[in-house]
Chains A and B, each alone.
Chain A
């Protein structure tokens, strides 16, 4: 009894001590991360075996045994002096301008290069978070660039730019055009559809729901076929849009239906209080959405948005089905070239395609993770 009755009073404040040192060093790290439990040890061993089994042959094929230069298939054939032939990069080299430009006239290809440069500049401007006047950058990227590119790539005889019909476009040019138009159009359209779906106005809501559910319910190939085959039935011949434009519309509409659902997910996650606070301040609907709700909703759902972009980027390969020569289609065409037929040509072509798509998609994904981390640091404790 007496012990519990005794008063406790701290005489000196408890000092804050440094946290106990981690088990430092390489061994400590290894033990903590690779060999912490039996399951972890098993996984580590399996991964090590996989790496040893896969990486050396891949390296050998794509780098050490690869053929880097040559004029035709002879260079990439297995000969007695080098029986193991690796990837035939010489083939990619020779065909590279076709992969980039398609049938775009050689004399006009500087226009494509200029387009790539202008696009890269715009993306860099908007994507670099510390850049000055990013609002101007957005205007440049979403308003100025599309208009300028349209004339730059398509031609404007008035100022001496020979017109180049889209049937001559191809390769990476087409892939980039389809992907950027799809991405740039699907985000705003998708947001509008998502807002429409949550609208209090029945007609708007009904249209949005029907559109989203219908487009999501059919494969992209169907949408592309419809855009390229059915659209001309409704529009008089003279006004019928170009084949590439039709495919662009198809891709944009398809992607916007997916984007709508992604954006809706973000909108749902915003608490009611945010809407009420914005309304109580007297902000009209579009201001409330643009200034308060959407910035938060899009931030929450940024990983999903980029996920959709990445999906869209790869889906652009499907435009070949309506006769458009995108990047993958140019590789398909080139690998059939009798001058270059070897056992390794196709593998090399596809590996090159995989590398291209991987670099683009990985770039988008890494960039987003950066932005996410930055936003998280800024807005949370």
Chain B
């Protein structure tokens, strides 16, 4: 496989060695006997926006979840923002503070209001005064266009609104990196757009984004690079335009033919 790191480094060509937001090196993971991640090597530059696609069961989510250590692994290394994820709890917490995550099922805390969902981590992890945290939360809730729902409980919101709250909640920690794990897959069709629009806006901010999604239109619009995964392996990594226009691998071509109709 081509050495991705050098590719990106030359693309940037700013003379200095690029600072990697995420480095995944020879990552291998097994669920029991099942080899779910096989020799994954990816480096993501700061500010890069990457979309990961591929058939379900291909290890996309699992790889994403290794980046904030929601999953552990048996072999290989993951380095986020220069901090290597090991068994050291403090290191894991330090990484998680800088990495926001948005889940397929939103996973809002149902016993807290929308506002409390957003202020929880700033108050208890960043030790921010409550007042300040609430202002911050309102700022992000305004950004995702639901400031008027702040005092409601999540169950009273639509799926699209819930997912936007989840995005705001992650943003309240001012993360350097955002991970999106199929953020629109659990939504009713008419709500997909509002969430994608929110993510689109976010992409303009220069935050590092890794998105697992089947929304190819979004990918074309936003992604700097595409990763295609199948059977626990990275089959192809390429710049977005090249990826869609000239897919190299047979499996990529087949997959794209199926999802693009």
Q: Does A59 contact B (CB under 8 A)?
A: no
Known A273-B105, A276-B70; contact A282-B121, beta-carbon cutoff 8 A: yes
Whether the pair A280, B99 counts as a contact (CB closer than 8 A) is yes
Q: Does residue A347 face the partner (Cβ distance < 8 Å to B)? A: no
B142 within 8 A of A: no
Q: Assuming the A-B contacts A276-B107, A292-B109, are A281 and B155 also in contact, with contact meaning beta carbons closer than 8 angstroms in the complex?
A: no
> What separation, in Å, do the CA atoms of A381 and B170 have in the docked complex?
24
Given contacts A273-B103, A379-B155, contact A280 B96 (CB under 8 A): yes
- Residue of B97, B124, B153 near A378 (CB, 8 A) is B153
Residue from A273, A277, A379 within 8 A of B111 (CB atoms): A379
Give the residue name and chain of the B residue nearest to A296 (CB): B111
For the complex, give the distance between the alpha carbons of A331 and B70 in Å.
Answer: 59
- With a CB–CB cut-off of 8 A, which chain B residues contact A292? 109, 120
Contact B153 A281 (CB under 8 A): no
Q: In the complex the two chains form, is A283's CB within 8 Å of B121's CB?
A: yes
> Known contacts A280-B70, A381-B155, A381-B156: does B93 contact A274 (CB below 8 Å)?
no
Q: Mark B118-149, 1 if CB is under 8 A from A, else 0.
A: 00110011000000000000000000000000
A95 to B125, CA, bound (A): 58
Contact B107 A281 (CB under 8 A): no
The contact of A287 among B99, B109, B124, by CB within 8 Å, is: B124
**Does B108 sit within 8 A of A, measured CB to CB?**
yes
B173 at the interface (CB under 8 A from A): yes
Q: Which residues of B contact A280 (CB under 8 A)?
A: 68, 70, 96, 99-101, 103, 170
* B169: Cβ under 8 A from any A Cβ: yes
> In the complex, are the beta carbons of A284 and B120 less than 8 A apart?
no
Closest A residue to B95 using CB positions: A282
- A282 touching B93, Cβ below 8 Å: yes
B155 touches A277 (CB 8 A): no
* A188 CB within 8 Å of chain B: no
A280 (CB) vs chain B CBs: closest residue: B101
Q: Using an 8 Å CB-CB cutoff, how does the interface string of A223-234 with B read, 1 for contact, 0 for none?
A: 000000000000
Contacts of B166 in A (CB 8 A): 277
A283 to chain B, nearest CB (A): 6
Indicate whether A281 sits within 8 Å of B93 (C-beta atoms), given known contacts A273-B107, A379-B111, A379-B153: no
Q: Which of A276, A282, A299 contacts B125 (CB 8 A)?
A: A282
Interface residues in A, total, Cβ within 8 A: 22
Interface on chain A toward B: helix, strand, loop, or mixed SS?
A: helix
Q: Identify B96's interface contact among A282, A287, A296, CB under 8 A.
A: A282
Considering only residues 27-82 of chain B, those with a C-beta below 8 Å from chain A are 68, 70
Q: Is A281 touching B103 in the complex (CB atoms < 8 A)?
A: no
* Structural contact, A281 and B120, CB atoms closer than 8 A: yes
Distance, CA A299 to CA B111, complexed state (A): 9
Determine whether the beta carbon of A291 is less than 8 Å from that of B96.
no
Query: A281's closest neighbor in chain B, by CB?
Result: B121
When distances are taken between beta carbons in the complex, the residues of chain B under 8 Å from A278 are 109
Q: Known A296-B110, A379-B111; judge A283-B153 contact (CB<8 A).
A: no
Nearest chain B CB to A167 CB, angstrom units: 46
CA distance A344 to B213 in the complex (A): 79
- Nearest chain B CB to A52's CB is how many angstroms away? 47
Instruction: Specify the chain B residue showing the minimal Cβ separation from A292.
Output: B109
The answer to whether A277 and B109 touch (CB under 8 A), given A282-B121, A287-B124, A287-B125, is yes
Cβ-closest chain B residue relative to A375: B111
Would A281 and B70 be within 8 Å (CB), given that A273-B105, A379-B111, A379-B153 are in contact? no
Which residues of chain B are near A274, meaning CB under 8 Å?
107, 109
Contact across chains for B110 and A277 when beta carbons are under 8 A apart: no
Contacts of B153 in A (CB 8 A): 378-380
8 sample A-B contacts, Cβ–Cβ < 8 Å, listed by A number: A276-B103, A276-B107, A281-B121, A282-B97, A282-B121, A283-B121, A299-B111, A379-B111
Which residues in B have some Cβ–Cβ distance to A below 8 Å?
Answer: 68, 70, 89, 93, 96-97, 99-101, 103, 105, 107-111, 120-121, 124-125, 153, 155-156, 166, 169-170, 173
A sample of 17 more A-B contacts (CB under 8 A), given A378-B153, A380-B153, is A273-B103, A273-B105, A276-B103, A276-B107, A279-B68, A280-B68, A280-B70, A280-B103, A281-B125, A282-B93, A282-B173, A283-B120, A292-B109, A292-B120, A296-B110, A296-B111, A379-B155
